A = this chain, B = another copy of it.
């Protein structure tokens, strides 16, 4: 009864996935709407996930030799216009500061939508010779893109992200780094978010404004739509020329550098919700869950129960786990529902009989199965279980994605595929007209190019296929 009441707070995941998403993010207190349209407030339960993402990713960047820095929020409007494609892509969605300190500014300032321009400017100032290369910096910050349609985490006017920017002496090195960071993101998605991704090059239409080539990682959501979860960009010399990023090479000649950039954002939180969530609510991957374990005392008023729960909490904390002991006045049933909706990977129920038998009842959120574990070596046992959950979450999502890739030889087949929530693999001639036609006909876009071209003809015009493309509807 109680459980049904609780579940009924969130919309049916199969019948109305968009409403399910909104219900879940709001009711689990991950996020709330800010007072300005399109903005979000990331609440403690959501921010803790972001902190875990940051810690894991930041360690990987540092391990790779990237240094953190911080560049200004406000960018002179004139910077935006120095790279023609860049301004065309971003100008329509920037927020502009026109007044400050009680006066109208001589030049309007753009709230950064991304920082290639201002970082290019500073790199140009700092780099003198080949000895200064490669220069590899990253920043964790807020950015702003004024969007018409917004949804918490997925698309908001302001969001948090990291943006890495590097300069190399040669294009080969910069391209190599662009692919290396794509691999780093893919490994991170797998081992930290337990989320399989498709990675590959983007089409010209879908690439970053000002890039020579953009690479993306795409994840399949519960409804079969794709979510762009991270991108890396090879800029060639476009930004280096626009911002005077030059160095004296070993041969004494002054040359332009080659730049690249890469970023992931708080969108990843939306991605993991829509990858793993189920009808009961959130299912959080253990590596990023704010609490990996919740302990619920059974018959908490019986002597020794609360003390045993506290001892267990300390033991699990000692084993490096993030643990919540819910010793509130609510009933166990209420707590079960609450923490299931909030997606805590493991629930431990501990009552007088468990304590007597030296056991604990363990509920894993991903499969909703109960089992027993020994109270002795509890840390080790729970640690192992969390590892199994992580692997299982990843395998389940991977199987879904693989099962849901279909092939199409015509627009109609593609439309049938995306209507059924599939990623559609198809041949493409490489012409923008055909890509536009796919969008118009099926509201689907080219997510990434396959590494190999395995198709003979373009699904649209029937000409010889130049690429094999993964098409999908996307967030």
- Contact: B96 with A98, CB < 8 Å? yes
- Contact: B69 with A34, CB < 8 Å? no
A6 contacts chain B at the CB level, 8 A cutoff: no
A95 contacts chain B at the CB level, 8 A cutoff: yes
- Contact: B74 with A158, CB < 8 Å? yes
- Contact: B96 with A99, CB < 8 Å? yes
> Given B70, B72, B96, B160, which contacts A100 in the complex, CB threshold below 8 Å?
B96
Bound CA span A67–B29, Å: 13
- Given A98-B98, A142-B141, decide whether A76 and B35 contact each other with a Cβ distance below 8 A: yes
A111 contacts chain B at the CB level, 8 A cutoff: yes
A43-56 CB contact bits vs B (8 Å, 1 = yes)? Answer: 11001101100000
Cβ distance A67 to chain B, nearest Cβ, rounded Å: 4
Closest-by-CB residue of B relative to A159 is B70
- Contact: A142 with B73, CB < 8 Å? yes
- Given A35-B121, A98-B99, decide whether A41 and B68 contact each other with a Cβ distance below 8 A: no
> Given B41, B72, B96, B148, which contacts A39 in the complex, CB threshold below 8 Å?
B72
Q: Which residues of A (438-473) have their CB < 8 Å from a CB of B? A: none
- Given A41-B69, A97-B97, decide whether A32 and B74 contact each other with a Cβ distance below 8 A: no
- Contact: B122 with A32, CB < 8 Å? yes
Give the number of residues in A that approach B within 8 Å (Cβ atoms).
55
Interface SS majority for chain A? mixed
- Contact: B73 with A144, CB < 8 Å? yes
- Contact: A92 with B96, CB < 8 Å? no
- Contact: B100 with A146, CB < 8 Å? yes
A118 contacts chain B at the CB level, 8 A cutoff: yes
Chain B residues with CB under 8 Å of A137's CB are 44
Bound CA span A349–B72, Å: 39
A418 contacts chain B at the CB level, 8 A cutoff: no
- Contact: B35 with A79, CB < 8 Å? yes
Bound CA span A92–B96, Å: 19
A220 contacts chain B at the CB level, 8 A cutoff: no
Cβ distance A40 to chain B, nearest Cβ, rounded Å: 7
A93 contacts chain B at the CB level, 8 A cutoff: yes
Closest-by-CB residue of B relative to A141 is B142
- Given A32-B125, A47-B70, decide whether A101 and B40 contact each other with a Cβ distance below 8 A: no
A271 contacts chain B at the CB level, 8 A cutoff: no
- Given A47-B69, A69-B42, decide whether A36 and B101 contact each other with a Cβ distance below 8 A: no
| Interface-centre pick from A93, A98, A126 (highest chain B CB count, 10 A) | A98
> Given B72, B98, B102, B109, which contacts A92 in the complex, CB threshold below 8 Å?
B102
A94 contacts chain B at the CB level, 8 A cutoff: yes
- Contact: B109 with A100, CB < 8 Å? no
Chain B residues with CB under 8 Å of A125's CB are 32
- Contact: B95 with A36, CB < 8 Å? no
- Given A68-B44, A141-B142, decide whether A92 and B97 contact each other with a Cβ distance below 8 A: no
Closest-by-CB residue of B relative to A103 is B146
A134-150 CB contact bits vs B (8 Å, 1 = yes)? Answer: 00010001101011100
Bound CA span A96–B98, Å: 6
- Contact: A44 with B32, CB < 8 Å? no
Closest-by-CB residue of B relative to A105 is B95
Bound CA span A304–B155, Å: 56
Q: Which residues of A (1-42) have their CB < 8 Å from a CB of B? A: 32, 34-36, 39-42
> Given B68, B72, B76, B126, which contacts A158 in the complex, CB threshold below 8 Å?
B72
- Contact: B109 with A36, CB < 8 Å? yes
A334 contacts chain B at the CB level, 8 A cutoff: no
- 24 CB contacts below 8 A, A to B, read A32-B126, A34-B71, A35-B72, A35-B121, A36-B76, A41-B122, A44-B68, A44-B69, A44-B137, A47-B69, A48-B67, A51-B68, A73-B111, A74-B157, A92-B102, A93-B101, A95-B101, A96-B99, A98-B99, A99-B108, A100-B157, A101-B147, A111-B111, A141-B142
Nearest 3 Cβ contacts at the A-B interface: A101-B146, A44-B67, A95-B100
Identify the A interface with B (CB < 8 A).
32, 34-36, 39-44, 47-48, 50-51, 67-76, 79, 91-102, 108-109, 111, 118, 121-122, 125-126, 137, 141-142, 144, 146-148, 157-158, 160
6 more A-B residue pairs beyond the given contacts A35-B75, A39-B74, A92-B101, with a C-beta to C-beta distance below 8 A? A32-B126, A34-B71, A40-B72, A42-B70, A44-B69, A74-B95
